[in-house]
Structure 1
């Protein structure tokens, strides 16, 4: 729901009723993962997507019905010979969608504010009930205290990990019975992309990082180059020696580091620090000659082969890129491939599943 939070906030501000459809479960080659959301207002406006166009029309109608009735419901869409080109997924997958009117949401303004501000929050949802979990408090109810306790404990753990998925929980006490399914969606601060080197390629990469949903920082030791006018897309601009900044900031296993300085006096000390972090991706720009010289310098500085193997250098996939924008696409493609286990080869040459498992 992060990508439609601004639109939902606008509807809330104007008092416009709406319904939200969320993908809560997928099978096989579904086009969007659990958590993908679409919203429809009482005025007929639509935001977001849950299937890339396959079932949006049907879900649009379900949302309009939910607004009128004030009742949530679940629908499943798959593919068969009969419905592939009617209401179904032509990609061959199956999705389960939960449709909720705004009146069924718990503290929606506070949840939307947390999402927009990058503060952690999770929602645990059944059809007509919702629990909201912040790190320091809980709001709402799923209808039974034991269910609330079990869902809150597990959702807090999922929030800490930034994961989204379905819990299967059993009722206790007077509510003992079959397991119930609770969909938990975690909203955590966006992952970081730190770009070192305030060059034209960095400006294109900052725009690409923003487009991909990263919190983008550009760092350069030269104040004349690290300016807001040159990097309007960056969330943060830092004028500091790159390795000093990297030593002082928080890096986790979702962080992406793009080293575009291609200058040994910046690169070598920076990479010595970077290779000690849990960063998910460390890409380094430079020619083949610069790469060989950089690796030699790092080895002389005592960096081991295991650590050096983490470097994506020269940075990016072989797309034949020439312009800064094309190069940013090549880098983004490599980051995506590394994150999801993609091969980087044309899909037309492969017979493997298009959507890799999370």
Structure 2
């Protein structure tokens, strides 16, 4: 039996191994910081203080975390069915168009809590629409989902550029963006959440979409582990042959899975579009779709793990921005290197330590 197939307790698979990978990532990141003549311990302290040391920093950290939760869930749902959705970036981008159209149409007439459900549906439908064609090509024509979804990122980017420059732009303005939504089209900030812990949100754009993201985590957990559809998805992901023998229709599950995955990615747009800027802008996704891949892998494709992994990347994003300000020799590019180390060890090399851990566990337990 190979080490890959040896069963390990959940606390090792989902706790110890990711923790060791994270420690390795920060160790090698520390070597990079030390190599330029700075103290790794001081840099880590500044990063944590910048992300978690005051209410405004926490607000920015949770704002980034919200986006990463949505895209991480999007990737995870697809992975459970054996699909690798690389198109969350484009799906979130098109989801922004769905949310913005709802806000633009309703913000004059109703309060935000009436607009919000329709905006959630609009963002999800547009995100799902972006995933529908790659899903159909995979299910009916055998085109690889990785190739089609990543290429659709470029198609959506061009479409959104056209929409913002030619259709939705405010007449007389140079900036390719929609008008600012009225209060009826904006998601409120969560000042009260930070105030509960004695802090002030300040300029941080933490908004109601954070709570929507947590609700989606619960619903995804229910879907994957408590429904017949989720069982069929997991069966297909583990063994397409067994799924076919059990009467599970491949094309049906692929289509449904990718539509759900695209819908979750599309809902990410609620955070920056209706929560932060209150308007639709060029490139508002900012790479969150690709970060979602690392978040999903590091969180072991489980909603609870995705929340923790998204929080980690939120800390890296916000703390890294503060670190580059407080320690100018560590540039923004170096922060990207640190993030890349986490992605490398938690994603691409996530099972690097598993053989040694399996052998040690077998020696301890005598199995």
**Greater per-residue helix proportion:** 2
- Give me the TM-score of the superposition, normalised by structure 2: 0.23
**Greater per-residue strand proportion:** 1
Looking at both structures, which has the greater relative contact order when contacts are Cα pairs under 8 Å and sequence separation is at least 6?
Answer: 2
- Give me the TM-score of the superposition, normalised by structure 1: 0.24
